[in-house]
Chains A and B, each alone.
Chain A
Amino acid sequence: MTGAALALSVRGLTKRFGTTVALDNANFDLRAGTVHALLGENGAGKTTMMRVAFGMLRPDAGSLEVNGTVRRWRSSADAIAAGIGMVHQHFLLVPAMTVAENVSLGDRGFFRGFDPRAAADRVRRIGAATGLVLDPAARAADLPVGAQQRLEIVKALARDAKILILDEPTAVLSPSESGELYAWLRSFAAREGAVVLITHKVREALAVADEVTVLRRGRAVLSGSSKTLDEAAIIAAMLGGAISTDKQDSTAKKVPGAPLISLQHVSVTDERGVRLLRDVSMEVRAGEIVGIAGVEGSGQRELLRVLAGRLAPDAGEARIPARVGFVPEDRLRDALIPTMSLVENLALKEAGSQHGTMRWEDYSTRAETAVREHDVRTSGVESPARALSGGNQQKFVLGRELEGSPAALIAENPTRGLDIRAAVHILDELRSARASGVAVVVYSSDLDEVLTLADRMIVCFDGRASATPVDAAAVARAMLGLAS
């Protein structure tokens, strides 16, 4: 493939946010007809680089060439006009609008008409030509996540995109959906275009991409054909070679202790009358990690909240210890108040059950202890939570929830959005909590991750929870509702 014309070329790109350097003289070449994986840990600058290429951010230095011509974008409208399309990690769809309306969004011209029928025809036409079939009249909010992603791609194709940039496209997809997407991207690249795939999944990148570029701390540190690079070399480049990715369990498995959490025939029904949990019975013992798996929307979200004592069941009996730590999935929405300091965020833990005046010195000391013990990198306990990186926020949340020796700890996708180094640290923390006798429950959408952690597995499907062997094949079957 070498020698093919460059569809997109980025030279010497630098981008600063305040004092943070997101991109530092970075280069990137995308050849026509190829799929190019852009790899790196969180914060390496992958998304920033592509947002500059898409005109959403202005670079502080550097140049951009599309099909051999130097270009400067005033906004993403210019990039779109030049044939670049981007599918963002968090989809940019208007939920209340139909598929056809979402696709027509951004058509130019103040007095240009919007004809729903023509817009629907366009969606059908693109579907017929590319295999990305969608119902034009469906509301975006009602589409399953895989279809939402198809819609994002169709939006780009409707603007004649020849260069497609996808930011972590498989983060929300099932393995079979990912496979389909990759096959489609390969055929798109071969047919007429070029694809940039932002990802941190090395194995997937090597399987699907023709070429690979690794970013680290805003610089391109490795670039080459996927045929000549191997997994170890790429991981070393991503991490700077200083980390052990050894996932071996260091805490010896002991016999679990007494049951601390016990659910008997628990059911949960939401306000619309939909049964989210059906007749779930399970227990969690001291000193074990129970892994939870399930396809999005199978009831695991509610199960975790019942286990954490955050949600009262409508039927059945839930015996929950008084002190349960809970690490919710969306830390900036559900676990931390971003503008409040770490001390205040720690004090919030007990805000509901405290009376009288606040003893800030105590909370300060406790926050400092949590920061020290859990290796939270911060300029001080008075800095606001939002000033911390994602990994340090999560370490702080975990530290807060483990403070005061809780009987149990419930963690929902605890490594979501974290880079490998921070993720490894979080997993180690969960293991050491188990070693100290805490009853630990972990849900992760990354199946490999739960399987390496768990002593026992429980799989949710259609609101039911069933015990499953700690084995990838068995868990995958159970997640799809197939009898093992």
Chain B
Amino acid sequence: MSGGATAAFLESGMRFATPLAYAALGELVVERAGVINIGLEGAIIGGAFGALVFAGAGSVALGFVGAAAAGTLVATLFAFFVVTLRTDQIITGTALSMLGLGLTGTLYRTIYGSSGASLHTPTISPVAVPVLSAIPIVGPALFDQPVVTYALYAIVPLLACWFYRSSAGLALRAVGEHPEAALGAGISPARVQWAAILFGGAMGGIAGGTLVLAQVGTFAEGMSAGRGFIAIAIVVLGRWSPLGVAVAAVVFGAASALQTLAQATGWSMPYQLPLAFPYLLTLVLLATARARTAAPSALGKRLP
């Protein structure tokens, strides 16, 4: 690959990675509180639809607000069932994924009609950071991106800091490890999980918003295309740490980019193969004891 092609590949990898990173960082917070939200897919597609509605009514910024709000709304439903009613997390999450996909499709057709495919929203364009974006090969990938990508550069260290250097982060991790111990220390595990799930929903919504407002410029039914499930795999691959999740998101993003590259250059190998690679990596990692012990101990368990 020439330098130019490599730079283009990395740049598109980062573009694919951005929504994945948002969704996965949100899911990371949820899982550190002991909840696995399979309904993330529903929050992403909800966010994409919210972005369409709000950006159409105003600006791109309003679109992102709408995306976060829609994702939070889906998460509210999930939190009510899972935390307040103590329902099974996997079943509830699966139902919400299906509901999100179905409901957005129905609403889309009802509001915009079946010809809505030509609907376009305003999008944000990449902003090149002076000097840094001129670095050969990695410059464009890291520093010629939309603002949503730059925001991640702040979110990842902030999240790490919050996990390990704040009382609330300590409480969050304790709830995910041993909710009874948290309760005994005067923390309300239900409240912590509610907050974590709402945050995860907002991040999932922003992920969907990014798809619409920074990449495609329109909404399509089912456009989340399994990113919610990919994000859950990214959290595993990232071993439940903010930096690890960020790196894992880039790995998955690069795999998506490789797929498009393979299609464009007409490689003879099946173009799905690169996309399978990060999943294989996740499985291999899961087979090692270290990855299994990195998971929060109370992950997926109902509160007492």
Contacts and interface: CB of A to CB of B under 8 A. Distances in A.
B168 A112 contact: yes
Interface in A96-134: 96-97, 101-102, 104-116
Contacts of B92: none
Contact of A75 (B169, B186, B297): B186
Given A86-B184, A95-B297, 6 more contacts: A94-B182, A105-B181, A105-B185, A107-B167, A111-B166, A111-B168
Most chain A beta-carbon neighbours within 10 Å: one of B164, B165, B187, B297: B187
Contact of B177 (A97, A111, A112): A97
A427 interface: no
A281 to B, nearest CB: 34
B88 to A, nearest CB: 15
Contacts of A108: 167
B202 to A, nearest CB: 16
Contacts of B170: 101, 104-105, 107, 114
Interface of A: 56, 75-77, 80-81, 86, 88, 92-97, 101-102, 104-116, 155
B261 interface: no
B184 A76 contact: yes
Interface of B: 164-171, 173-174, 177-178, 180-188, 297
Contacts of A88: 184
Contacts of A110: 166-168
A80 B187 CA distance: 11
A155 B171 CA distance: 14
B166 A105 contact: no
With most chain B CB atoms within 10 A of its CB, the pick from A88, A94, A111, A115 is A94
A96 B186 contact: no
Contact of A106 (B171, B178, B180): B171
Contacts of A75: 186, 188
B186 A112 contact: no
The 8 closest A-B pairs by CB, nearest first: A106-B185, A77-B186, A92-B184, A92-B181, A112-B167, A105-B185, A107-B167, A94-B178
A113 B169 CA distance: 9
A81 B167 CA distance: 17
A94 B164 CA distance: 15
A109 B184 CA distance: 17
26 contacts: A75-B186, A76-B184, A77-B186, A81-B186, A86-B184, A88-B184, A92-B181, A93-B181, A94-B174, A94-B177, A94-B178, A95-B297, A104-B167, A104-B170, A105-B174, A105-B181, A105-B182, A109-B167, A110-B166, A110-B167, A112-B168, A113-B166, A114-B164, A114-B170, A115-B165, A155-B185
A92 B179 CA distance: 9
B184 A112 contact: no
Question: Binding site of A, secondary structure by majority: helix, strand, loop or mixed?
Answer: loop
A76 B181 contact: no
B178 A92 contact: yes
B interface secondary structure, majority = helix
Contacts of A105: 170-171, 174, 181-182, 185, 187
Nearest to A86: B184
B297 A114 contact: no
B304 to A, nearest CB: 11
Contacts of B184: 56, 76, 86, 88, 92
Contacts of B167: 104, 107-110, 112-114
Contacts of B187: 77, 105-106
A92 B185 contact: yes
A109 B165 CA distance: 13
Contacts of A102: 181
A81 B185 CA distance: 11
Contacts of A77: 186-188
A114 B186 contact: no
A114 B169 contact: yes
A113 B165 contact: yes
A17 B174 CA distance: 28
A4 to B, nearest CB: 28
B239 to A, nearest CB: 13
A234 to B, nearest CB: 30
A56 B165 CA distance: 28
Contacts of B174: 94, 97, 105
A93 B183 contact: no
A96 B297 contact: yes
Nearest to A155: B185
